[in-house]
Amino acid sequence: MAPESLVPATGSLPASHLAVSAYGLNKSFGERPVLQDFTLEMEPGEFVALLGRSGSGKSTFLRVLGALDADASGEVQVPRRRAVVFQEPRLMPWLSVLRNVTIGLPQTRQTVNLGLAALAEVGLERHAQAWPRTLSGGEAQRAALARALVREPQLLLLDEPFGALDALTRIRMHALLRELYRKHRPAVLLVTHDVDEAILLADRVLVLQDGRISMSVEVRLEEPRHRSASGFAALRETLLSELGVVPD
């Protein structure tokens, strides 16, 4: 993996085998510090969930990793091939679903085939020539996942990707994401405020608080994971209390 430096290195070089190395990140909006000496290392193929209350700086950090925000100080190395999925699918309404998936890539026969394969992986092959407005919310978000997959990312950044979906669709999307992850093994950073989602999907759950990671826990549950698994409730309680919520 060839990491790409986004921010000029200010200290010692991070270990190059890592998928993500972010050291001493600082970011403020006006007087308000959002990231304070924030540090995170991720192994290649590791699935990390970043939990935090609304406004805690989750999206700010994800934007730094995606090079969507060059205005943070510190040291960041991420793989060159990375893709982002946001809460909204962000499909171009004037392009077919297939063209949305392959957007930005050279329009060759090979690209079309890769796009069709990615659509098949998310169960949307029948919608390749459809317009985005004919898709349901869940289908549109699956198209957004296909658009990310077709780039074969070494780092997949997900910013509350299921937050706008209904509960049943979200459950299906969780299963789909887990399946795609097992197959392709990118490093994944999932930003969410949903504790259950974090435990169901990630290998490691972090809590972002006051600009820093205040807790990091490994998730070791049997596959397929479910809420009634032993250990789930205890982990949920630990994370909720760290977030300042009294578990129900």
Angle formed by the axes of helices 137-149 and 167-184, nearest 10°: 10
Q: Which has the closest alpha carbon to 197: 33, 50, 59, 65? A: 50
The residue range among 9-17, 51-59, 73-81, 214-222 that interacts with ligand ADP, by the rule CB under 6 A, is 51-59
**For ligand ADP, how many residues bind (rule: CB under 6 A)?**
10
Binding-site partner at residue 102 among ligand ADP, Mg ion, none, CB < 5 to 8 Å by type: none
Interface with ligand ADP (CB under 6 A), residue from 34, 97, 119, 146: 34
Q: Which is nearer to Mg ion, 46 or 159 (CB)?
A: 159
Q: Least distance in Å: CB of 23 to ligand ADP?
A: 19
Q: Within 13 Å and on the Cβ side, how many CA atoms surround 13? A: 6
The residue range among 48-56, 72-80, 124-132, 239-247 that interacts with ligand ADP, by the rule CB under 6 A, is 48-56
CB 52 within 8 A of CB 212: no
Interface with ligand ADP (CB under 6 A), residue from 3, 14, 52, 161: 52
Q: Least distance in Å: CB of 32 to ligand ADP?
A: 6
Q: Which is nearer to Mg ion, 59 or 100 (CB)?
A: 59
CB 138 within 8 A of CB 164: no
| Residues 177-206 within binding reach of ligand ADP (CB under 6 A) | none
The 8-class DSSP code of residue 103 comes to: T
Q: Which residues contribute to the site for Mg ion (CB under 5 A)? A: 59
Residue whose structure tokens are 């998928």: 19
Q: Which is nearer to ligand ADP, 32 or 182 (CB)?
A: 32
Q: What is the three-state SS of 29-74?
A: ECCEEEEEEEEEEECCCCEEEEECCCCCCHHHHHHHHCCCCCCCEE
Exposure letters 130-149 (e unless 16+ CB within 10 A, then b) = eebeebeebbbbbbbbbbbb
Binding-site partner at residue 170 among ligand ADP, Mg ion, none, CB < 5 to 8 Å by type: none
Q: Least distance in Å: CB of 10 to Mg ion?
A: 27
Interface with ligand ADP (CB under 6 A), residue from 60, 102, 154, 192: 60
- Environment class of 248 (CB within 10 Å of its CB; exposed 0-12, middle 13-18, buried 19+): exposed
Instruction: Please report, as ranges, the residues that interact with ligand ADP according to CB under 6 A.
Output: 29, 34, 52, 54-60
